[in-house]
């Protein structure tokens, strides 16, 4: 049984650190161990691994928890923890720098305190804030654990039963952390797309968010295409492999003959490369990519549809638009074939139609936001 209140004990405060960055884990541990009254009993790169460790008898007095992590985001884990084994949690995340809502969510879910990490100069910041971090952890150790327990709320019946969303409705994943500093770009093209994509990618810096690309292309051609682009771009361009993570500076091109989808893992994005029947007569299909992005990323994505024959991608980018993503189409004057962008515009799924040479600057601006 957990005690209703936490007494200040003579022994050291036991702290467990959960952060997907090995550097952050190492620095936080060194910072906290400067105080003789604190003992770091363990660290973990994600919440599920941490839970396994703690369930083996390593329950800490205070948990220091990041928000953006693989497999399960920190807010979801925090809610689960407060239902099953409430204990003092200090959120330490760059995500809280983005706005008040995540901070409010963390505190409403049971966090004792929130420490905002900067996105740059992180190591120096943690060292400079040693006293504040130690003070925060010590204060958390005195928290009343009974007051941290979250009320049990049943999941909605439809979500619990796993019922599919009605046709045309984009239902967000039940555990998705909507606000995340991770952003992605999804691009689709067909006829004329190889040249158009080259013109766009060669103008982009390496700091751009991860990019997922579907270009209608036969099997065995995409690897060579990706290698060529990689040789002339600042970005790291490669043919996608199943499970690859979308990270800044990387462009993943769907292999010819296979569909590519984006999925969410905690607060990170990965791609699934799968066999399957053609969609809109194509494999890979732009619609398959765009619809997956609508489902897992919503407003954390930018969708771009370039030159191409037919209508593949038009309905998918409309789904992205409806899910809150920003959407761009190549304009008629700069397209080799104004088919796919035209159909997307007709469906009302496009925020802006731009000349091909104006699209790179739009992507850069999106990455800076």
Residues with a known catalytic role: 190, 216, 312
- CA distance linking residue 150 with residue 106, whole number of Å: 12
Classify 128 as helix, strand or coil: helix
| Cβ proximity of 208 and 364 under 8 Å | yes
**What whole-number distance in Å separates Cα of residue 244 and Cα of residue 59?**
33
Other CB atoms within 10 A of residue 181 CB: 16
Q: If you write DSSP's letter for every residue of 60-124 in order, what string do you get?
A: -SEEEE-SS-SSS-HHHHHHHHHHHS---EEEEESGGGS-HHHHHHHHHTT-SEEEEPPSSSHHH
Asked if 142 and 37 touch (Cβ cutoff 8 Å), the reply is: no
The encoded tokens of residue 254 equal 């769907």
- Phi and psi at 337, nearest 5°, equal -135, 115
Q: How far is CA 183 from CA 248, 298, 339, in A?
A: 9, 10, 28
* Tokens describing residue 283: 């494999």
Q: Count CB-CB contacts under 10 A for residue 1.
A: 3
């Amino acid at each position: 049984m957990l005690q209703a209140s936490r007494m200040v004990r003579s022994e050291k405060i036991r702290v467990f650190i959960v952060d997907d960055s090995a550097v952050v884990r190492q620095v936080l541990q060194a910072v906290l161990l400067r105080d003789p009254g604190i003992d770091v009993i363990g660290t973990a790169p994600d919440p599920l691994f941490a839970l396994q460790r703690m369930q083996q008898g390593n329950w800490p007095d205070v948990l220091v928890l990041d928000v953006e992590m693989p497999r399960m985001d920190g807010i979801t884990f925090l809610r689960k923890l407060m239902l099953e084994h409430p204990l003092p949690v200090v959120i330490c995340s760059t995500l809280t720098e983005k706005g008040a809502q995540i901070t409010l969510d963390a505190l409403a879910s049971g966090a004792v305190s929130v420490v905002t990490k900067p996105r740059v100069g992180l190591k120096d910041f943690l060292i400079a804030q040693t006293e504040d971090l130690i003070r925060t952890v010590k204060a958390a150790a005195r928290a009343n654990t009974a007051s941290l327990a979250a009320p049990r709320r049943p999941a909605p019946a439809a979500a619990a039963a796993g019922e599919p969303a009605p046709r045309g409705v984009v239902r967000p994943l039940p555990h998705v952390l909507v606000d995340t500093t991770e952003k992605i770009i999804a691009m689709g093209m067909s006829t004329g797309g190889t040249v158009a994509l080259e013109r766009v990618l060669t103008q982009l810096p390496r700091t751009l968010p991860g990019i997922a690309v579907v270009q209608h292309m036969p099997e065995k051609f995409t690897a060579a295409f990706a290698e060529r682009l990689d040789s002339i771009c600042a970005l790291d361009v490669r043919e996608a492999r199943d499970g690859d993570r979308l990270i800044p500076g990387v462009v993943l091109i769907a292999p010819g003959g296979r569909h590519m989808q984006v999925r969410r893992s905690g607060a990170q994005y990965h791609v699934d490369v799968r066999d399957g029947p053609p969609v809109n007569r194509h494999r890979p299909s732009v619609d398959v990519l765009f619809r997956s992005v609508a489902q897992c990323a919503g407003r954390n994505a930018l969708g771009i549809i370039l030159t191409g024959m037919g209508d593949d991608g038009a309905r998918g980018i409309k789904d992205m638009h409806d899910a809150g993503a920003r959407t761009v189409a190549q304009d008629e004057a700069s397209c080799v074939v104004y088919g796919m962008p035209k159909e997307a515009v007709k469906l009302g799924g496009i925020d802006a139609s731009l000349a091909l040479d104006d699209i790179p600057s739009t992507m850069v601006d999106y990455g800076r936001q």
